[in-house]
Amino acid sequence: MQDVERALQSFHSIKIRNIMPPITSMPVVTSDSPILNVLKLLRTRHHVWVVEDRESMRLVGAIRYLDIVDVFLPLDAHKFKLGMTSRTMRSILGGAEKAEDVVERNVLTIDEDATVLDALTKMRRYKSQVLAVVQDDRLVGEISLRIVIDEFLRLLRVGEVKWTQHGSSSRSE
């Protein structure tokens, strides 16, 4: 068990910048991208980051897989409440044409100097599986639960620790 505990301590202190994927591998569109481009990305991804433009990479927000339900629903399927008409504008029938029309602007962010423990704590607190990594309002990466799991498993392999189902560990032979 000491091996796993040591691996977790090392794991928790890893800086996000050291494990986040290159930005070129991330699903990123600009605000003026057509919704069809967003839909094409969402066929294989759970989210798409929306930036103002490719030069500035200023983060506008994210479009998540489940957000697209609103895009497809007819206007009468949206529940109208005072001050809540913005949801209807996310529908194609409500006039949504571009990524900026359907983007969720309030996304969770974290600094690239934060640790894995910081990211995990934020993910749990806000029940999120992915965080935008930003520096001065610029999207520089992402950290997701999948990335964190991959890094932990890599650490166990490198440290030659075999983790059994019961939580005990032993040296690989």
The answer to whether residue 168 sits within a structural domain is no
Count of domains for the chain: 1
DSSP designation for 34: B
Q: What's the Rg (C-alpha) of the chain?
A: 20
The answer to whether residue 102 sits within a structural domain is yes
The answer to whether residue 8 sits within a structural domain is yes
Q: If we measure between CA atoms, which residue out of 154, 150, 155, 170 comes closest to residue 21?
A: 150
Model confidence at 82, pLDDT cuts 50, 70, 90, reads very low
**More confident position, 167 or 57:** 57
The answer to whether residue 172 sits within a structural domain is no
Element (H, E) at 171: strand 169-171
* First-to-final CA distance of the chain: 16
CATH number at residue 90: 3.10.580.10
Give the pLDDT score at 88: 47
Range of the domain at 15: 2-161
Model confidence at 77, pLDDT cuts 50, 70, 90, reads confident
Query: How far is CA 61 from each of CA 28, 78, 103, rounded to the nearest angstrom?
Result: 10, 22, 6
Least trusted range by pLDDT, from 10-14, 78-82, 84-88, 158-162: 84-88
